[in-house]
Structure 1
Amino acid sequence: MGFSKITQSRAFCMSDACRTYDCIVVGGGAAGLCLGVHLAKLQSQKGPCLILERRSQYVDDRSWCFWENPNEISWIDRIVSKQWWHWEISGCEEEVDHRAVNRPYCYVRSSDFYQSACSLIKQSNDVNLQTGVEVSEISDSGGVCLVRTDHGDYRAKHVIDARPAVSLSPDPSGLLQIFVGSEISFSKPMFDPRRAVLMGNLNADDRAVWFQYVLPLDAHRALIEETAFASEWIEADELDRRLKVSIQNLAGGQTMDILRHEKGVIPMQSTPPQQRGTSRILRAGLAGGAVRASTGYALRRIDKWAKQCAAQLGAGRPPCGAYSGTVVERSLDRIFLRAVRANLSRAPEFFLKMAKGTTGDQFAAFLTGSTDPRVLFPVISRMPKRPFLAAATQNWIGPSHASS
């Protein structure tokens, strides 16, 4: 599904490149558009903002999921197209069923996200989205940032670089979440649309933890993904082959239509990424450390950062870096990732124990970043003691001391 080219209501002209903006956002993906939405909502701004996106049009090429938080309200809640109050985690001949009371699992299509964000941005006179612009260089010229593009040079007080990372490799104590998926429509009813499979057929080898992810959109149609939490790079072709086998086994010979594909790589790293070497050029989005390290979830965290960053810019202050969670959350993420990476063959056991030790709402709250003891205790008490104590020791005193 494609969309017509989306630009701000004011047409682009070469004189735009002669202006000095309060802020230029390079990249109109999730982070850039979330920031644009919150800037557009401000009652007053200190100066104009420009979002530059290399794509000439947005397509329905991905989806985002998160657990609803009853204590937080976001514009994204209005574009949720599907919720599941019931989900399963399975593997090692075990299956855990969860039912949520307050925290359903939510699904947002990229088509709805792009259309809603662009529509909200278009209503602002101070925020302009320009698509089809290729950025070649970003530099700090001593007080003013210069952004070179194929449409000319732009100047700004601050630049937020929200483009994806050029290359990704696993952090020594982290993992890469690599996935490929297809939205499939089957000729016969195949799914219970009330029940999602968040981690199905959990298994592991010396490279990765593998599982299937199935989001039933109705009785005939589902998004089916093959996912790896990997300690090394895994080619998409291998995941494609695994996905094809999973879909064929599920189909059982019946006819089906492939509606769309999606794929991605999400860094699950416990150390924050390197920021640019200037206070006026800031990284954002996945490359800026927006991901919850132990889970790979990012959209609500990105939107939380965007709201804070817009408030900073609206008050005439510099933009803020990505929301990285609480100290407790970051520490738990490091311990969990170290334990999983050091014990990949046992990782399915870890995930199953986590699920068995929690209710649906506790499981959702933990993966969302809750530090409530009533949420943390059931999870921590279920984890195998030796691998997690070793990981905690490395986290607190460092790997070199722990091994001496």
Structure 2
Amino acid sequence: MSRRSDAPGETSDVVIVGGGASGLSLAYRLTATGSPTVTLVAAPDGSLLPPERTWCYWERGTGDFDEAVAASWSRLRVHGADGRAVTVDPSPLRYRMLRSADFERLVHSRLARTPGAHVLRATADTVRDTADGAEVRCTTPDGRTLTLRARQVFDSRPLPSLPPARTQLMQHFRGWFVRTDTDRFDPAIADLMDFRVPQPSHGLAFGYVLPLAPDRALVEYTEFSRTPLTTAEYEKALTHYSRDILGLGAVTVESAEQGVIPMTDARFARRTGPAVFRIGTAGGATRPATGYTFAAVQRQSRAVAAGLRNGRVTVPAPHGRRALAMDAVLLRALDTGRIDGPGFFTGLFRRVPAERLLRFLDGDTSPREEWGIGLRTPIGPMLRTVVELPFLPRRPQPATRTGESPR
């Protein structure tokens, strides 16, 4: 599909910029409507292509992406800092893992079978509105320029800097895909948070274990804090966690993944012009207090596809106002140290029914349910934070390289 720099370019109803979770999800949903022509602009092979990533979410019953799901778990476990574990069954929900390469193959295969839909391997340089829509100027792998024109453009590229915020933490992590010399894992149980790791002076840290087989798992070290670590520091923390806490013995690290996700109460613009929209993390899909993104991306992409089918072009807010308000309070309380992070999250899993808690983390609970959950949190520190928040200014945030959450 490469063109000379003076070629007229390509025209579609919709151009999606970015081949990550949000771009792939929107392309998948749009092909189901059968109406718009779609071009997905994905990074070409080479140094610009992101490394393989992991996306996790919970879902009830069968789902659209089941054939690409690498693993799933019916039980979840949280280890408190005191060493006591709580294991929960969130039925009818299951926790599912997608690997980005598998998800990409699924979506690209569907696009290849859909008339009017295709993938362009290129680097998107600029996106701008025009008199009759929008255009995306791209550079093809052989260095030539191609201009894509569309009625609407949905841009999922990471922002160069985050919007002003009252509170900003980072969820930063490194994970190993390991193989052990003997069976060490229970493939039926995923460890969402293991607070037995040493805690940083600011924020919180936990381990994360997703078993893929009795002798294989994703083992991860995660922090919620203001500043990411160096790779050497992550490696040291992972070595301590796998050897001294999990007792895995000799392990073979088959691959690794690393990333940084913003945890912020910033307000993300979902529209930058009459025909240009932001989706995914760039459009505020990452849940501020947890870093979970994939489920919100699915809600957002379904709504965009339904709107286009019905002649309405809109990108709805991926999280409701109540959820964002509660997250802002929790972020501030964590950042100030008013609440103990490990105790807070462990307490929720011990006191709140698992299915309700997971729906709460997805923003799918009623005000009555949220009130009941709120009563199981440290009320004094949370109320103090509620009173304080309206008087805090929103300040510009430094540029940060972000990744995509494994959750």
What secondary structure is seen at the aligned counterpart in 1 of 2:44? coil
Aligned to 2:397: none
TM-score (norm 1): 0.86
| Equivalent residue, structure 2, for 1:37 | 28
Query: Could you tell me whether the CA contact under 8 Å between 2:303 and 2:315 is conserved in 1?
Result: no
Query: Contact 1:214 / 1:225 at 8 angstroms: preserved in 2?
Result: yes
Structure with greater proportional helix content: 1
Following TM superposition, the consecutive aligned residue runs of length 4 or more in structure 1 with deviations greater than 6 angstroms are 57-60
Contact 1:170 1:232 in 2 (8 A): no
How many residues are matched? 383
Alignment match, 2:319: 325
Instruction: Check if 1:113 corresponds to 2:99.
Output: no
Segments of 5+ residues of structure 1 without an aligned counterpart are 1-10
**1:66 corresponds to 2:60:** no
2:164–2:267: 8 Å Cα contact kept in structure 1?
no
Counterparts of 1:288-299 in structure 2, within 5 Å, are 288-299=283-294
Find the aligned partners of 2:274 and 2:235 in 1 and give their Cα distance. 41
Partner in structure 2 of residue 90 of structure 1: 79
Separation in 1, partners of 2:203, 2:378: 19
Residue 399 (structure 1) aligned with residue 392 (structure 2): yes
Aligned-pair CA distance for 1:39 = 1.3
Alignment of 1:3-402 (within 5 A): 18-45=9-36, 48-56=37-45, 61-69=52-60, 74-93=63-82, 94-131=84-121, 133-151=122-140, 152-167=146-161, 171-201=165-195, 204-249=199-244, 254-275=249-270, 277-318=272-313, 320-321=314-315, 323-343=317-337, 346-372=340-366, 375-395=369-389, 397-399=390-392
What CA distance in whole angstroms lies between the structure 2 residues aligned with 1:168 and 1:180?
Answer: 22
| Residue identity opposite 2:287 in structure 1 | R
Q: Secondary structure at the match of 2:340?
A: helix
Q: Distance between the aligned counterparts of 1:354 and 1:344, measured in 2?
A: 17
Alpha-carbon distance in 2 for matches of 1:170, 1:247: 38
Once superposed, what is the RMSD of the aligned Cα atoms?
2.7
Deviations 1:150-180 (A, max 9, x none): 2422222222111123356994323211111
Cα drift, residue 237 of structure 1: 3.7
| Greater alpha carbon shift after TM alignment, 217-226 vs 386-395 | 386-395
Q: Is the 8 A contact 1:170 1:176 kept in 2?
A: no
Quote the Cα distance in structure 2 between the aligned partners of 1:64 and 1:262: 12
Give 1:336 deviation, angstroms.
Answer: 1.7
Q: d(CA) in 2 for partners of 1:253 and 1:214?
A: 12
- Work out the percentage of aligned pairs sharing the same amino acid: 27
Any gaps of 5 or more consecutive residues in structure 2? 141-145, 394-407
Distance 1:391 1:324, change over 3 A: farther
Distance in structure 2 (CA, Å) of the matches to 1:69 and 1:326? 21
Change (3 A) 1:16 1:85: farther
In the TM superposition, residue 86 of structure 1 has moved relative to its aligned partner by 1.9
Aligned to 1:4: none
Q: Post-superposition shift, 1:225?
A: 0.6
CA distance in 2 between partners of 1:345 and 1:316 (Å) = 47
The alpha-carbon deviation at position 35 of structure 1 amounts to 1.0
Equivalent pair of 2:339/2:381 in contact (CA under 8 Å): no
Given that 1:209 and 1:344 are in contact with CA atoms closer than 8 Å, whether structure 2 keeps it comes out as no
